[in-house]
Amino acid sequence: MENSLRAGPLALIAVLLIAAPAPAQPPLAEVARKEAARRASISEKSRFYTNDDLAGGSRLTTGAARRPDPEAAPPGADDPADADGGGTDDLPGGARDEAYWRERITAARDARERAELVAAALQNRVDGLLAQFTARDDPAQRARLERQRADALSELEATRTEIDRLTGEIAAIREEARRAGALPGWLR
């Protein structure tokens, strides 16, 4: 009897909660109409910005303040690092613009990427030759495979040296661009 008394009030509460009406929510169509009316009432329309807006030195950017004065001496003109012929004489008009820096850094990155792909292929070849070497019993075949593996290893080492050189070249281009006053985005 005692259990039925306990279950009675709990059951009554559960029934009341289930039977209680849910708060009224407006239909989806009504919400959509209200949103459309709200958007129509906004007097200022949204503006979409494009690269053309940013390139013109509009009020959105500080690019106009960063542009070098054509009358002023170029940055690093009295820099001893440019004394070795690293000046702008090799370009028409002596200017190093965004296209120049992008082309230069892209060429160096592409060369490094190619060298890294070659290094990965050579490492695969070295690993495959080692597997073949260990699977052979014939001393003549093993000697031939060992020579091929040694050649691949020396070529792999030369390629890794080239990767290191290209990585240093990329760092040098970045430093040269920094000293010349190139914007960091030009090297991305």
| Stronger pLDDT, 57 or 27, i.e. the higher one | 27
Radius of gyration over alpha carbons of the chain, in Å? 36
Whether the per-residue pLDDT at 31 is higher than 70: the answer is: yes
Determine if the pTM surpasses 0.75: no
Q: At 131, is the pLDDT very low, low, confident or very high (cuts 50, 70, 90)? A: very high
Q: What's residue 80's pLDDT?
A: 44
By the 8 A CB rule, do 152 and 48 touch? no
Dump pLDDT digits (tens) for 149-161.
Answer: 999 999 999 999 9
Tell whether the model's pLDDT for residue 166 goes beyond 80. Answer: yes
What's the pLDDT tens digit per position in 18-30? 766 666 777 888 8
Average pLDDT of 124-136? Answer: 92
Letter string b/e over residues 50-74, b meaning 16 or more CB atoms within 10 A of that residue's CB:
eeeeeeeeeeeeeeeeeeeeeeeeb
pLDDT value at 51 more than 80: no
Task: Flag whether pLDDT at 2 surpasses 90.
Answer: no
Closest by CA to 108, choosing from 58, 176, 41, is: 176
| 85 pLDDT tier (thresholds 50, 70, 90) | very low
Per-residue pLDDT band for 5 (boundaries 50, 70, 90) equals low
Q: Give the pLDDT of residue 38.
A: 83
Most confident range (mean pLDDT) of 2-11, 27-36, 123-132 is 123-132
pLDDT value at position 115? 94
140 sits in which H/E element: helix 139-180
Confidence of residue 67 (pLDDT cuts 50, 70, 90): very low
Segment 96-113, tens digit of pLDDT? 888 899 999 999 999 999
Location of structure tokens 């230069």: 104
